[in-house]
Amino acid sequence: MSKPADPAYHWNGADLDLDAYLARIGFDGERAPTLATLRELVRLHTTSIPFENLEPVLGRPIPLDLVTLQDKLVRGRRGGYCYENVGLFAAALERLGFGVTGLSARVTMGSGGLRPATHALLRVTTADDERVWICDVGFGSGPLEPYELVEREGEFSLGQWRFRLERRAGELDTDLWVLHQFARDGWIDRYTFTTEPQYRIDFEVGNHFVSTSPRSPFTARPFVQRFQPDVHHVLDGLKLITERPDGSSETRELEPSELPKILSEVFDIELDEADATAVSSAPWLDR
């Protein structure tokens, strides 16, 4: 059965300024839907565009249209959270000829409870390989490469970072995939997901909750991440956390006045004077 013609099923790849996007992440390789290209795109996007939620913290909306995503993440050289990163990345993959399907995950991080499906992933296929890949460019802590959607024994490494992928039986005997990661708290389950297709309109719904609900952690305090092959920087409120692949970490408490400098020097996020002042004196500091 062919894919519906309704453009809502697609990712607006034809409208992407591909040259600007590839320059933003530093890609100068072959523009072909191959596995080698996919791996390089994931690595560069993940390490070039930071994870950040500063707009919701400051009470601003998060539009997911491609014009806004390009203006913010590409031309404005800002970061974004999962829905923004995945929307931009999906448009690039579609433009390059990859097979792209959206998926949603439930972030657990060892909580043991049922969480809403508010994390965006991509299921991707290539022209030169029959395998199915999961691309997660919007979590903020990697992985640096796509990982194959296949049941496997034991852990696997993507760069220096360690993961496990488990397949369980979900509701109605559906496949429920669980990604585990090794970090400062040891092995934890990161999220669960199914392969039920998700579309831009589904991401709009999740994005509305994440960016506006008082129950969303992303409206309560800054949560910013910068992921590199050998280090993961996290700003959680006024805590600056540095993690490494071996599980070691350091945490430093910041003063509010330090935030603009830390955002610039550690996370490569440059704020104008008004936003720098707002972040340093926002109501969240009193929570």
CATH no. for residue 173?
3.30.2140.20
In a domain, 68, yes or no: yes
Residue 133 lies inside a defined structural domain of this protein? yes
- pLDDT reported for residue 263: 98
In a domain, 101, yes or no: yes
Q: Look up residue 12 and give its amino acid.
A: N
| Residue 280 vs residues 58, 97, 254, 284: alpha-carbon distances, Å | 11, 43, 11, 10
In a domain, 98, yes or no: yes
List per-residue pLDDT tens for the chain, 287 residues long: 566 678 888 999 999 999 999 999 999 999 999 999 999 999 999 999 999 999 999 999 999 999 999 999 999 999 999 999 999 999 999 999 999 999 999 999 988 778 899 999 999 999 999 999 999 999 999 999 999 999 988 999 999 999 999 999 988 888 999 999 999 989 999 999 999 999 999 999 999 999 999 999 999 999 999 999 999 999 999 999 999 999 999 999 999 999 999 999 999 999 999 999 999 986 777 55
Q: What pLDDT, on the 0 to 100 scale, is given for residue 3?
A: 62
Query: Known catalytic residues?
Result: 82, 119, 136
- Give the residue from 146, 126, 135, 116 showing the smallest Cα distance to 217: 116
Q: Is residue 54 situated within a structural domain? A: yes
In-domain check, residue 100: yes
The answer to pTM > 0.75 is: yes
Q: What CA–CA distance (Å, rounded) separates 248 from 266?
A: 18
CA distance from start to end of the chain: 52
Domains in the chain, number = 1
Contact 16, 196 (CB under 8 A): no
Domain membership of residue 287 (yes or no) is no
CA 280, CA 286: separation in Å to the nearest integer?
11
Whether residue 266 lies inside any domain: the answer is no
Domain membership of residue 135 as a residue range: 7-218
